[in-house]
Amino acid sequence: MRVLLAGGAGYIGTHTAIALLEAGHEPVLLDDLSNTSDVVTDRIAEITGTRVPLITGDAADDEVVESAFDAHGPFDAIIHFAALKAVGESVAKPLEYYANNLDTTYALLRVGLARGIRSFVFSSTGTVYSDPADLPFTEEATRNLVELSNPYSKSKLMNEVALTDIQAVNPEVNVTLLRYFNPVGAHASGLVGEDPKGIPNNLMPFVARVAVGALPEIGIFGDDYDTPDGTGLRDYIHVVDLAEGHVAALEKAQPGLASYNLGTGNPVSVRGLIESFERAVGHELPKSVKPRRAGDLAATYCSPEKAERELGWKATRTIDDMTASVWNWQQKNPSGYAG
């Protein structure tokens, strides 16, 4: 299967490209490189022995998407990773988030449907669920746009609504919505991993930067939640498990619309993740408790049973696997892909 990965040079896209190659498929990357580096194609080739094509450009531009089809098509499927993804930044830059996260979807669909794709896999998020009383979140859990706290989550849910309507009038096409829960980890080789620009917005890369000495301390935002150790509970999933979920979704795709949670179903606390990372490093890391952040929930985790039942997929890697792989990546790449 030949697959166009929009945003494919990013963190999840790179790992998915590797998983697709290992499963015998042909990925092609489309990325504007705003949050990654073209070095990833060298790293993918080193891991797999195959150099994947990379088209540099904006997935929201129809002409750029057309050029990918002209140069490397036809494609059987598109996987759409091309989105801005920082929750806090989305509150400060709502117009940028809505424009990018919706326009990329529309351009990919306009061109893809005209060129005969039969499968469209959308990178959604577990933050589309709006009622914490629904825990663990199933695919039928509450999704209420006005109750979501940030433009990032709203843009993802708006995409889901649009994709539902578009698939309804293109019944021969499969649309799969994959709702991620806190991707972390890195490839076992240590050659590819998460390399956010500037100060990381997410916990795991922040902890890794502290461990390598690039940042002074870890901030724990709230230790008085109604959880076993007072810190927030999250469903962390190894990025390699997540990548394998995309392969399963493509290989099991049938005409119609389907949605799946991709997580472990086993939440880990903020302190639990830090303690796991400390085990990987071999010593304690500097940390301090800070006030709660607005919008943070005490717990968020999913039921992944539908994906296991229908896709034959299940996350198998533990939190210690996740933190050990990140430490391996960060040690080998203390400045990320820059050196």
Q: Which residues are catalytic?
A: 152
Is-contact 317 240, C-beta < 8 A?
yes
Q: What is the DSSP string of 15-70?
A: HHHHHHHHTT-EEEEEE--TTS-THHHHHHHHHHS-PPPEEES-TT-HHHHHHHHH
Give the integer Cα–Cα distance in Å for 315 and 237: 7
Give the integer Cα–Cα distance in Å for 78 and 249: 12
Q: How many contiguous H segments (helices) and E segments (strands) does the chain have?
A: 11, 14
Nearest alpha-carbon partner for 290 in 230, 224, 222: 222
Nearest alpha-carbon partner for 132 in 243, 225, 44: 225
What are the angstrom distances between the C-alpha of 45 and each of 17, 50, 246?
A: 11, 5, 20
Residue 23: alpha-carbon gap to chain centroid = 20
Give the integer Cα–Cα distance in Å for 38 and 49: 17
